[in-house]
Amino acid sequence: MSLLPHILVLAAGKGKRMRSELPKVLHEVLFQPMIHHVLDLAYSLPQASVSIIVGHGGEEVQEACRDYSGAQFFEQREQRGTADAVKSSQIFLQKQQGHVLILSGDVILLRKSSIEMLLKTHETEKAVCSLVTTHLENPTGYGRVLRDAKGSVRGIREEADSSSLEKKITEINAGIYCFEIASLFDALSKISNQNRQGEFYLTDVIEVLVRENKKVVGAVFADSEETLGINDRVALSQAERVLQKRVNQFHMENGVTLRGGENIWIDTRTEIEADVTIETGGRIQRSKIGKKTVVEANSRIQFSTLHSGVKIKQGSVIEESVIGDKTTVGPYAHLRPGSVLGVEVKIGNFVEVKKSVFKDGAKASHLSYIGDAEIGKAVNLGCGFITCNYDGVNKHKTIIEEGCFIGSDSQIIAPLTLGARSYVASGTTVTKSAPPESLVMARVKQITKPGYAKRFLKNNE
């Protein structure tokens, strides 16, 4: 394809129908602001530039898009309609040659192949404007496509301005267009806001172009799912379902088993290898999951890497962590950011790990908190072990060298280092470092008074 369009994303509107303080395009669909999905599409296409029109919550929107390098922002101060939004980029775009592809920040389900088709049509038909349309059973809320007797597009009528007869038209405008730049701005200078909403409609330029005998082409999309515009939270939920299905299908086709897929939510940036199983309630964001890993029900994994043969048992939460081959986590465990687990590590039920390294074969099987620690190879942390890492001001480090055995219900008051192969007796509060192969024991001496309990009860009868 030789067409190298400039891309313009309209994202300045408030999105009144969302009834939200958050700008509409920042509402999340599969863990990402909806505008990300539009920008992912834009960046996947051959393009000369990408521009975003911001306005309502402009700074927040700009901040949310900072990872898209090279995108430029134009501010639409007052939201006076989609035509006015496009005009905000006029000074830049008018200096450019060629064509502009206009995308809408709230139309997120378009497929790359469909847009390529639109651009191809635009090019082969030598059109001045090509617009995406589709047929909807219920077209309420969308602009309707008006065609003449020969079937050529002659304009678009917004829902608010349409007659009862026009409302019956089922072909709708998807809000996605390709324009020849010079003709677009020429037509934009000729429209008014004399309509029910008092807005400058981008859709009005179609009629202007047709009147001037410029070529306007309607590209009818067969799959109306793609053109869904997210105007309210009902549509948001619909769009999320569609995207979820697409993502899940992609992974299943790649050899991933999803049990109860309608309740599994995986974002578009997660990579999963073959023979992975994910159970119902799984929510996975920006992660990499290696082959033969199992993620049991109701677990959340985000910004993490799981190597192969990992087992995440039911109800666990994994955040910004790395998990080595054949390691087991959970049930009901929590890896907080910065946890790095080696090979065949075991993190058992109700264990919380934060910013800590577990070397190969280390274990914390039950009811523990391990923070800011380095746990050596094959260390066994007994039930109820706790690192006391925080003094209310600073965090301190615990180092437990390889082969240590830490008895149940022990605490380590950091900072300290336990030398390799040391033993800590159950119930010990460790306050000082110890050299390798030590026994560390700190317990109150036991007092036993035989028969005391019996006498005590009797005296209190």
Interacting residues toward ligand UD1 by CB under 6 A: 10-13, 53, 55, 76, 79-82, 84-85, 104-107, 142-143, 156, 158, 172-175, 201-203, 229, 231
Query: Nearer to ligand UD1 by C-beta: 10 or 258?
Result: 10
Strands (E), 207-255: 216-221
- What is the distance between the alpha carbons of residues 297 and 299, in angstroms, rounded to a whole number? 6
The residue (of 80 and 286) whose beta carbon lies closer to ligand UD1 is 80
> Per the structure block, which two tokens stand in for 101?
């592809």
158 binds Ca ion (CB under 5 A): no
User: Minimum distance between the CB of residue 375 and ligand UD1, rounded to whole angstroms?
Assistant: 50
Choose from Ca ion, ligand UD1, none: what does 236 bind? Cβ within 5-8 Å by kind: none
Q: How far is the CB of 14 from ligand UD1 (least distance, A)?
A: 8
DSSP designation for 168: G
With residue 350 as reference, give the H or E element that holds it.
strand 346-354
Q: Residue 356's binding partner, choosing from ligand UD1, Ca ion, none, with beta-carbon cut-off 5 to 8 A by kind?
A: none
Which CB atom, from 229 or from 348, has the smaller least distance to Ca ion?
229
DSSP-assigned letter for residue 234 = H
Nearest to 327 by CA among 316, 383, 382, 274: 316
Q: How far is the CB of 127 from ligand UD1 (least distance, A)?
A: 18
277 binds, among ligand UD1, Ca ion, none (CB under 5 to 8 A by kind): none
CB of 13 to ligand UD1, least distance (A): 3
* Distance separating alpha carbons of residues 443 and 355, to the nearest angstrom: 29
Question: What number of H helices and E strands is found in the chain?
Answer: 9, 39
User: CB–CB of 284/269 below 8 Å?
Assistant: no
DSSP 3-state of 341: strand
Residue with the two structure tokens 């008006």:
146
Cα 380 → chain centroid? 37
- Pick from Ca ion, ligand UD1, none: which does 368 bind, CB < 5 to 8 A by kind? none
Residues 6 or more apart whose Cβ sits within 8 Å of residue 438: 418, 419, 422, 423
Minimum distance from CB of 39 to ligand UD1 (Å)? Answer: 13
Minimum CB distance to ligand UD1, residue 84 (Å): 6
- What is the b/e burial string over 259-272, where b = at least 16 CB atoms within 10 angstroms of the residue's CB? eebeebbbbbbbeb
Nearer to ligand UD1 among residue 162 and residue 410 (C-beta): 162
Complex with ligand UD1: residue 131 or 406, whichever CB lies closer: 131
Binding mask 200-229 toward Ca ion (x if CB under 5 A, else -) reads -----------------------------x
Classify residue 175 by burial, with Cβ atoms within 10 Å: 0-12, 13-18, 19+.
buried
Nearest to 401 by CA among 371, 431, 357: 357
> What does 143 interact with, of ligand UD1, Ca ion, none (CB < 5 to 8 A by kind)?
ligand UD1
Whole-angstrom distance, CA of residue 157 vs CA of residue 203: 8
Q: Which of 27, 99, 366, 396 is catalytic?
A: 366
Q: Which residues pair with 353 in a beta bridge?
A: 335, 370
Between 84 and 296, CB nearer to ligand UD1: 84
CA 340 to chain centroid, in Å, comes to: 23
Q: Considering only the stretches 160-168, 230-238, 246-254, 356-364, report the one whose residues sit in contact with Ca ion under the rule CB under 5 A.
A: 230-238
The CA-to-CA distance between both ends of the chain, in Å, stands at 96
CB nearer to ligand UD1: pick between 77 and 455: 77
According to CB under 5 A, which one of 84, 106, 240, 279 is a site residue for Ca ion?
Answer: 106
Clarify whether 307 is annotated catalytic: no
Size of the site for Ca ion (CB under 5 A): 3
For the CB of residue 117, give the shortest distance to ligand UD1 in the complex, in Å. 18
Active-site residue set: 366
